[in-house]
Structure 1
Amino acid sequence: MGQKTRPTGFRVGIVEDWRSRWYASKREFGTLLVEDVKIRNFVKTRYGFAGIAKVEIERTRDHVNVNLHSARPGVIIGRKGQEIDRLKAELEELTGRRMEIKIVEVNNASKSAILVAEDIAQQLQKRGSFRRALKRQLDQVMEAGAYGVKIELAGRLGGAEMSRKEKGIRGSIPLSTLQRHVDYGHTTAKTAQGIIGIKVWVDRGNYSDEESNNGADAQAGQASKKPKRSHKR
């Protein structure tokens, strides 16, 4: 079962949090769900070059909080915050609700499955070799500290007449272990020969290990910000 299930959906509600966090009545649910899709599509279309890994949406009555996880936060914020103000105004016009946008930086883009998939898609659209792109990304993900990575390409690879699949694996991908953080992302590359599908799995280790590492990094950051005391004799 684990081989045929999306890893993030398999873990949602157990160790993964929902991407949209709000409650609504049966009458409003469909409208708000479509609104969430519109927000995500608008952000990905407008700022796809900023390396957006995830868009989280939280709602109150008429207030919407949007958390953008980006590998290049400076591009979205813009000079003196002008770009993020423009994005906020456009989303408010799109939805008719008050928006609050928060930018969360993605520290290591090579460990984000969707960003790896989008990078491969860009290389294929620029007529790059699919084998070279596949091998390069496998090496980069493992060098970034991942425990394992699997990349699967499907379509008219290399301009072949018949579509086929090409797969590359490094390390281990435990698809049925719920305590293991397996990040998953998929996208498509629109080439001259046709559309190529790209799927990426990245094993980032146990969730408990990630939380402890994040806590240690936060403590180290706070310690570095504390002023040093000068001892006078």
Structure 2
Amino acid sequence: MGKKINPIFFRLGKSTQYHSLWFSNKKQYFKNLKADILIKEIFKKNFFFNNINDIDIIISNLLKINIYFTELSKIEDFVEYIDSLIIEISKILKKNIIINFILEEDINSKNLTFLILNQINNKSSVKRIIKKEVLKLISKFNGCKVQVSGRLEGVDIARKEWYLFGSIPLHTIRNNIDYFFYEIITQYGVLGIKTWIFKKNYETKT
């Protein structure tokens, strides 16, 4: 089970928090669900998810959005577009909007994934890049696994390259496993990258 299901979904409500925090009756459910999806699409279209760690969407009498960043410079870039974003979202839900910016300094699977992707090209050794980036950050987690699959380095036959540091206890629900999957298009085809990070000192977001 631990290896056949998304580790985030497997731990929802246990060691992983929900990011869509709202409840509604049958009449309002479709409207809130549509708004939730559209808000995430707006962020993806305008700011890209690689600049944002997580987004909490809380819908009640008003709309509250918590945006998690890892770098202060990204927050400063985001503030420039905040007014136009509020106007666009308010047209969807017609509610007052509160947006909170939250700075997180801990590394997560998403950050590590994009650090590796920014260096991958068809002429470089993928495994060497993965190992170099993981070893830079070994003090920030207890275990890490990165797997890249596809036509690596432009070869004709697709294969997988992976690197494991420490342990990744996927079957234990109480353990905090951070997971991220992303696909990148290259001139030889699509490369898929999966990243697992295990941290023992887990703290629930509030």
Distance 1:49 1:17 in 2: 18
Say which structure is richer in helix: 1
**1:59 equivalenced with 2:54 (yes/no):** no
Cα distance in 2, alignment partners of residues 180 and 158 from structure 1: 35
In 1, Cα distance between the equivalents of 2:8 and 2:19?
10
The two structures have a TM-score, normalised by structure 1, of 0.77
User: Does the aligned pair in 1 maintain the 2:143–2:165 contact within 8 Å?
Assistant: yes
- 1:79-100 per-residue CA deviation (whole Å, 9 max, x = no partner) reads 9x44333332333345544321
1:117 aligns with 2:113: yes
Structure 1 runs of 4+ with >6 Å offset: none
Structure index of larger Rg: 1
Aligned: 1:92 with 2:87: no
TM-score (norm: length of structure 2): 0.86
The answer to whether the Cα contact below 8 Å between 2:122 and 2:152 also exists between their aligned partners in 1 is no
Cα displacement (A) at 1:70: 1.0
Q: Contact (CA 8 Å) 1:92, 1:98: kept in 2 or not?
A: yes
Q: What is aligned with 2:178?
A: 183
CA contact (8 A) 1:78 1:84 kept: no
Which runs of 5 or more residues in structure 2 are unaligned?
none
Provide the rounded CA distance (Å) in 2 between the counterparts of 1:68 and 1:96: 20
The offset of 1:136, in angstroms, is: 2.1
- Correspondence for 1:199 among 194, 197, 200: 194
Question: Residues 23-34 of structure 1: matches in 2 within 5 Å?
Answer: 23-34=23-34
Instruction: Using the aligned pairs only, state the percent identity.
Output: 27
Match of 2:164 in 1: 169
**Count of equivalent residues:** 205
Residue 70, structure 1, aligned to residue 69, structure 2? yes
The within-5 A match list for 1:117-136 is 117-124=113-120, 129-136=125-132
Deviates more, 1:156-165 or 1:83-92: 83-92
Give the Cα separation in 2 of the matches to 1:158 and 1:96. Answer: 50
Q: Which runs of 5+ in 1 are unaligned?
A: 215-233
Where 1:174 maps in the other structure, the secondary structure is coil
Structure 1 residue 191: Cα displacement: 1.2
